[in-house]
A and B are shown apart, each in its own frame.
Chain A
């Protein structure tokens, strides 16, 4: 039973560029959440996708966008990269919308993004 997978594992970009990160949820899960984790901090919620729609969004600018595909996999896109976007980007999957969202999440290994 495959857990949550993310690609790529590491990425180096320069300011102003765009990046796309990918996530495949744990088998049987239909909800994907994205988090940004800066060094020494806890994960910060970016947004959550369920039934191919963005259901909830954290306090992140519109430069951060996403998508969920019919197979429940998801992408995170970040445009016009800033130095401050350097962080570990985590994907977490769970099952079911509504009140079960966010109750028990399984995290992927993350993508470490460095913006120069």
Chain B
């Protein structure tokens, strides 16, 4: 079956750097996505990694190691508005060609002034 593990909560101060880890178990792995969701809001797509390595988009970077079944989201120069839930989602072929992403339970990021 599929499983994803990510910390339930991470706290940091404004201006700092924070890393949110995600480990997964699945078959037919295609890629790992990250989404941000503010309270009461819609999940917003942040990044997608299909190959090993680091993808950088502004203050956010995402990393993937397929051999370790591991990825992380790195947020730099934290701002108060970054306080939100962050979900990793595995896109795989576990259901015979579904390509449907399976979401983790999310990490609540709390940024303090």
Chain A CB within 8 A of B16 CB: no
Closest to B6 in A: A42
- CB nearest to B42 among chain A residues: A107
CB of A109 to closest CB in B, whole Å: 5
- Asked if B98 and A56 sit within 8 Å, CB to CB, the answer is yes
| Given A102-B91, A103-B91, CB of A90 within 8 Å of CB of B102 | no
| Beta-carbon contact of A43 and B42 below 8 Å | no
In A90-111, which residues have CB < 8 Å from any B CB? Answer: 90, 92, 98-110
Find the A residue at minimum CB distance from B92.
Answer: A102
- Number of residue pairs across A and B with beta carbons under 8 Å? 59
Q: Are B103 and A43 in contact (CB under 8 A)?
A: yes
Instruction: Known contacts A42-B87, A56-B98; decide if A106 and B45 are in contact (CB<8 Å).
Output: yes
Interface size class of B (residues with CB under 8 A): 20 to 34
* Complex: A68 Cα to B44 Cα, angstroms: 23
Q: Which of B15-62 contact A (CB under 8 A)?
A: 30-31, 33, 35, 41-45, 48
Docked CA distance A100–B91 (Å): 10
CB < 8 Å: which of A44, A56, A108 contacts B103? Answer: A44
Please measure, in the bound complex, the distance between the C-alpha atom of A95 and the C-alpha atom of B101, giving whole angstroms.
15
Residue B71 interfacial (CB < 8 Å) = no
Contact of B100 (CB < 8 Å), options: A102, A104, A107, A108: A102
| A contact residues around B30 at 8 Å (CB) | 99
Q: Is A16 an interface residue (CB 8 A)?
A: no
A43 touching B43, Cβ below 8 Å: yes
Contact among B43, B48, B105 with A103 in the assembled complex (CB-CB below 8 Å): B48
Judge whether A107 and B105 touch: CB under 8 Å.
no
Are B100 and A56 in contact, CB atoms less than 8 angstroms apart?
Answer: yes
CB distance from A114 to the nearest CB of B (A): 14
Cα–Cα distance between A107 and B36 once the two chains are bound (Å): 11
Q: Is the CB of B42 within 8 A of A104?
A: no
Q: Which residues of B contact A102 (CB under 8 A)?
A: 91, 98-101
Asked if B100 contacts A103 (CB within 8 A), the reply is no
Q: Which residues of B contact A (CB under 8 A)?
A: 30-31, 33, 35, 41-45, 48, 87, 89, 91, 95, 98-106
Known: A107-B45, A108-B42. 20 other contacts (CB 8 A): A42-B89, A43-B43, A45-B100, A45-B101, A56-B100, A58-B100, A90-B42, A90-B43, A92-B43, A99-B30, A99-B99, A102-B91, A102-B99, A103-B33, A105-B45, A105-B101, A107-B35, A107-B42, A107-B43, A109-B41
